[in-house]
Structure 1
């Protein structure tokens, strides 16, 4: 299967899975936070690779991790325009609204899992 098609299928699968895990009342909050963050990282790695399939997967994973960390630190800044964006569902999903140190390990796990998954996909015939 071609690499870009595999990436597209990953994106199509991980988005509903991530939303289900993040918003389902059947999971405890810590589980939803951790596995929702992992899915978020895998999604963004797959999306960047879909747009730039020749880019190094490792560089993509590191870039997504650093971007996610920057967004996390941005949550400490609360100007009115960002608060207005965060008040919307898309803004909350992308920018978040509460800084938590505990978000960093799932970002690392998600980027590591995404890197491994995409390395596997790239090697498929």
Structure 2
């Protein structure tokens, strides 16, 4: 169990690094970063809830991604201040986009397909 958590932790770190890199390299489409965000969320939830079945992990992680995206429609001064920090921008984003919702769905679908192949 502990070795699985270590693997998930390393994967989360790798996906975060790739996601940040995808924002720095201009030839990589922005959607790739959002797909990686969903993959990272899936891996993070699996890390935290290691025993949970992959489809439940997918449902939870996709719900979190959707919630964060929808929360971008809310613009109170306190949350905008958080979004103006580097970490806040990476975690919370800035503006709602339907294309981000599609990217999160694609990223989660990739995780589901990968885990379905393992079974």
TM-score (norm 1): 0.83
User: How many residue pairs were aligned?
Assistant: 117
Instruction: State the SS of the aligned residue for 1:76.
Output: coil
In structure 2, what is the equivalent of residue 10 of structure 1?
A: 11
- Uncovered stretches (5+) of structure 1, i.e. residues with no partner: none
Give the Å deviation of 1:12: 3.1
Question: Offset of 1:118 from its aligned partner?
Answer: 4.1
User: Is the 2:31–2:103 contact (alpha carbons within 8 Å) kept by the matching residues of 1?
Assistant: yes
Q: Retained in 2: the 8 A contact 1:86–1:97?
A: yes
> What is the TM-score of this pair, normalised by structure 2?
0.86
Q: C-alpha root-mean-square deviation of aligned residues, in Å?
A: 1.8
Residue of structure 1 aligned with 2:59, choices 51, 57, 62: 62
Structure 1 CA distance, aligned partners of 2:88 and 2:9? 23
Deviation digits for residues 78-101 of structure 1, max 9, x if unmatched?
000001100101111111111111
Higher relative contact order (CA 8 A, sep 6+): 1
Q: Which residue of 1 aligns with 2:26?
A: 25
Alpha-carbon separation, structure 2, partners of 1:15 and 1:97? 18
User: Which stretches in structure 2 are left out of the alignment for 5+ residues?
Assistant: none
Tell me if 1:107 matches 2:108: no
Instruction: State the match for 2:41 in structure 1.
Output: 44
Closer, same or farther: CA 8–118 of 1 in aligned 2, 3 Å: farther
